[in-house]
Structure 1
Amino acid sequence: MTHEETRDRVRAFLAPQVAGQPLADSDDIFALGYVNSLFAMQLALFLEQEFGLSLGPEDMNFDNFRTVDGLVRLVTSKAAV
């Protein structure tokens, strides 16, 4: 899967949370108030199911979940292993 395909799937998952608001890939979705810490667990579950990943404690760094770029980076780094 390419970076763009991963980015598109992540953005599609986030779309209902941002309710049509413009969102750059580097925007902090938590600081902007689109999501909360509980949603981070939903994000982790989505990544595991959508991309067939197994996330461990070392992957639960908040920086991995606060931006589209971070989510894509996490998926591609785990998929490369």
Structure 2
Amino acid sequence: MNNAPTQPVAGTAVNTDGVQQEILRFLESRTQTAWLPDTDLFKDGGQSSLFAMELVVHLEKSFGISIRGTDLRLDNFRTVTVMTAMVARLREQTIGGPRG
């Protein structure tokens, strides 16, 4: 199994299906529970604040992103759908980041 971060390629769209599947796989492996993409993980007992920090580290390493500042809001980790959108946005910013 390859644990290297998935690096975005300039000029290509972020594969959100792959991002979503990886997040779901990680959650299931850590919680021994299958999750639906729109399930509120905190409301339904899937995450604690400590687990959310573990998830931040996993997302950063798996997708080559940096989650900082306002992106660290709990609401960005409530559902797999929301996390997938955040990862896609941050990867797009990495691809199209400042040129100088």
Are the counterparts in 1 of residues 37 and 81 from structure 2 also a CA contact under 8 Å? yes
Q: Is the counterpart of residue 56 in structure 1 residue 68 in structure 2?
A: yes
Task: Note the 1:1-81 alignment, pairs <5 A.
Answer: 1-21=14-34, 23-81=35-93
Within 2, Cα distance between the matches of 1:20 and 1:54?
27
Structure (1/2) with the larger helix percentage:
1
Q: TM-score, normalization: structure 1?
A: 0.90
Within 2, Cα distance between the matches of 1:34 and 1:78?
24
Within 2, Cα distance between the matches of 1:20 and 1:66?
16
Are the counterparts in 1 of residues 38 and 79 from structure 2 also a CA contact under 8 Å? yes
TM superposition outliers: structure 1 runs of 4+ over 6 Å: none
Q: Residues 26-70 of structure 1, C-alpha deviation per residue, up to 9 Å, x if partnerless?
A: 111111012211001001100110000011111111111010001
Identity of aligned residues (%): 30
Are the counterparts in 2 of residues 17 and 35 from structure 1 also a CA contact under 8 Å? no
Q: Which runs of 5+ in 2 are unaligned?
A: 1-13, 94-100
Q: TM-score, normalization: structure 2?
A: 0.74
Q: Which amino acid aligns with 2:19?
A: T
Q: Which runs of 5+ in 1 are unaligned?
A: none
Are the counterparts in 2 of residues 17 and 34 from structure 1 also a CA contact under 8 Å? no
